[in-house]
Amino acid sequence: MKTIAWDVDDVLNNLTKRWLIYWKNNNPLCKISFNQLTENPPHKVINIPLKQYLKSLDKFRMSKNYMQLKPSKIMLNWFAQNGHKFRNIALTSVPFFAAPISANWVLKHFGNWIRTFHFVPSKRKNEKILKYDTNKIDFLNWIEKVDFIIDDKEDIICKAKEFGIKAILFPAPWNSNKNKSPEIILKEIN
């Protein structure tokens, strides 16, 4: 059975889109639309310091807003029809303090298919944690059991391919996958 590593935020859910709505509600002068977020993190596009963006994102994650994120209907449909054909794992990059919330969200919505949750801690100031991996690719090289990775970050996809892992770039405004819909990408997995 092939194993797929699924990124969580912006693949299984729409975190950045929902965070932008949250940001705009608190900053009504911001007129940026989701499709204008050509970078992730989007702090330069929004014209705020990275520190301010991370603080806002972390506040969103730690509030009820994150747990209220709806899973992607496209992804739920795919899992309902095909999830049993693969071994599925979650592999995400979140701050250490937010990992339990992310894991809870994944298991709540995708636990029927995703049974393991793995994360590489995103760096936050003054956080001192044991460092096993510097990025998702380090983790994938260590585990040596993943056949595919699905992620919205172009650099992760490129590095995975360099190591011989089949990698699929999930479409997002900040990456080069502008022509393939999520539905087409998911058909390619099958």
- For 63-75, the pLDDT digits (tens) are 999 999 999 999 9
What φ, ψ does residue 117 adopt, rounded to 5°?
Answer: -120, 125
Question: What pLDDT score was predicted for residue 190?
Answer: 80
Section 147-163 average pLDDT = 95
Look up tokens 């940026």; give the residue.
32
Range of the domain at 54: 15-67
CATH assignment at residue 127: 3.40.50.1000
Q: Say which amino acid occupies 123.
A: K
What are the tens digits of pLDDT across the range 98-147?
Answer: 999 999 999 999 999 999 999 999 988 888 888 898 899 999 999 988 99
Cβ(136)–Cβ(156) below 8 Å: yes
Which residues contact residue 126 at a Cβ distance below 8 angstroms, ignoring those fewer than 6 apart? Answer: none
Residues 51 and 136 grouped into a single domain: no
Residues 55 and 111 grouped into a single domain: no
Q: Give me the count of residues in the chain.
A: 190
Residues 53 and 92 grouped into a single domain: no
List helix spans (H) across the chain.
Answer: 15-26, 43-46, 50-62, 64-67, 73-82, 99-110, 136-143, 154-162, 182-189
42 C-beta neighbours (distance < 10 Å), count: 22
Residues 158 and 112 grouped into a single domain: yes
- Domain total for the chain? 2
Question: What pLDDT score was predicted for residue 175?
Answer: 96
Question: What pLDDT score was predicted for residue 110?
Answer: 98
Cβ(102)–Cβ(92) below 8 Å: yes
The model carries a pTM of: 0.94
Q: Is the pLDDT of residue 188 over 90?
A: no
Name the 3-class secondary structure at 167: strand
Q: Are strands 166-169 and 87-92 parallel, antiparallel or unpaired?
A: unpaired
Q: How would residue 187 be classed by pLDDT, with cut points 50, 70 and 90?
A: confident
- Of 172, 170, 157, 151, which Cα lies nearest the Cα of 38? 172
Residues 150 and 135 grouped into a single domain: yes
Residues 110 and 63 grouped into a single domain: no
Section 75-97 average pLDDT = 96
Residues 183 and 93 grouped into a single domain: yes
What are the tens digits of pLDDT across the range 29-63?
Answer: 999 999 999 999 999 999 999 999 999 999 999 99
Q: Is the pLDDT of residue 3 over 80?
A: yes
Residues 101 and 37 grouped into a single domain: no
Residues 75 and 169 grouped into a single domain: yes
